Amino acid sequence: MEDHQDLSSSGSAWIDDELMHKERAWWHKLAQKLISSGQVPRHVAFIMDGNRRFARKKKMSTVLKGHEKGFEQMAKVLEWCQELGIHEVTLYAFSIENFKRSDDEVNGLMKLAEEKFERLIHQSEKVAEKQIRFRFFGNLPMLSEKLRKLIIQIQKMTKDYSKGQINICMAYTARDEVARAFELIRRGREKGLLREDQIDDWLISRCLDTRGEDPDLLIRTSGEKRLSDFMLYQCSSTHVYFDDVLWPEFGYANLCKAILSYQYYYKTIELGEEENAVHQICNCMHSFVACFCFQIVDFSLVYLTLIAYFCFFMEDLVNKGVGIREQHFIPLLTLVVSITVYPAGFYGLFWDKPVFLAIYGYRLWLIVLFSVGWMGYCIFYQSNVFGFVVAFVWFVTLLIYLWGIFVTSRARDFIENRYTGIEDVDPEMKEKFKELLEQNLAAVEDLEKKQKNKKEEKVRYFCGLR
């Protein structure tokens, strides 16, 4: 991990509404509405990597200048997260591994952190308006005494705020966090506050620094594809998003892309088995609706072909006083074929019969050729504005028609993937599974009762530990 320190720049503020207003682009509102229409992650964690590389890239005098830019960008990102409805943000600010760097760099970062925390205390009124709670995770005794006092003051100052939460990880690694959690449990066992059968995942999670909601989305910048010992225990079901951009260059568009990536994978990440089953049923309903709507468009296209042909024929008849001539052969053939093979096209959507699909494909290509030829004929040979307008409307409908084919094919594939082969499940496997459920039903009920009682005991024991 190259760098995770972004508490810098004495001239920049944690909250600067005026600056944020100036830098807000016109499309931010549109992106915000687009994202809010989907599932917005409640808790987002950031591995803010790339400050030192940014300083070298921009040829800055010291790497601390890169950390200063990193802090400025962090303040913007926190504001963007609040605008997008993200309730909790966790920042990987300083790793225990970072203490291995040169003394000058570590001391400079600690000093910059002190300046930033002092500035945050001076902005207490703005923090109170935002109602943002600050929490600090990590092996805090490794920090200087002044820094620890500032951290305590900030946590006391914001402990009652509830509209948002910012977690800052300093002197932190996940392995150290888990080791300290087990040390706490070990002392509880020695004092007789815990029994061995009470040590499980719930108790361990309550002994970690976080003791809260796990991150829904983890974002790492700079192109590195690793977690760098960050929240390993809490990220078992977290969607991890890697961005190649360096942290000081991480913009609003990058944040939106990360959230959209989370929303795309949300169904497989968050939905439980029961909810996922309901979701599949809804998807199938939408697929059948898509197929039905496609058939409406398909029929409308045939109907519009009929109207367009007679408009074409009647105008020519009125203008020139002639009947059906050779030039009407192609549209007439298209009309006859469209109406004739329409049922074949309908069946071809749901049954993979080669004959139906072949007829459907020929019909489609015939309609495409006719639409292009008709528009060219109206423009270059007849200067027929009315015919061109009708042909243009017909062509737009054809584009909808092509889109309908794509949507319907995906819908059919979805339906087939979900429901093909259900009857082929081995009956013996069904019976074994049924017997297994019956055998364990009573045991599950007893376990639920024990878990309920155990959790009540755990709360009391845990309060004694803390």
Tokens representing 341 are 């093979």
Tokens representing 46 are 């950031």
**Distance from the Cα of residue 142 to its chain's centroid:** 36
Report domain extents, the chain.
17-270, 277-422, 425-465
Q: What pLDDT tens digit does each residue of the chain (466 aa) get? A: 554 444 444 445 677 766 676 777 878 888 888 888 788 999 999 999 999 999 999 999 888 899 999 998 999 999 999 999 999 999 999 999 999 998 888 998 999 999 999 999 999 998 999 999 999 999 999 999 999 999 999 999 999 999 999 999 999 999 999 999 999 999 888 888 888 888 888 889 889 998 888 999 999 999 999 999 999 999 988 999 999 999 999 999 999 999 999 988 876 555 554 455 555 555 555 545 555 555 555 555 555 555 555 555 555 554 554 444 444 555 555 555 555 545 544 444 444 444 445 555 555 666 666 667 766 766 666 666 666 666 676 667 666 655 655 555 555 554 444 444 334 445 555 565 556 555 555 555 666 666 666 655 655 555 554 4
Sign of CA dihedral 36, 38, 41, 45: negative
The 10s digit of each residue's pLDDT in 272-313 is 544 555 555 555 555 455 555 555 555 555 555 555 555 555
Ramachandran category for residue 344: left, alpha or beta (phi over 0 → left; psi -120 to 50 → alpha):
alpha
Using the 8-state DSSP alphabet, how is residue 382 labeled?
Answer: I
Task: State the pLDDT at residue 219.
Answer: 97
3-state secondary structure of 47: strand
Sign of CA dihedral 12, 161, 150, 124: positive
Domain 17-270: state its class. alpha beta
Residue-level length of the chain: 466
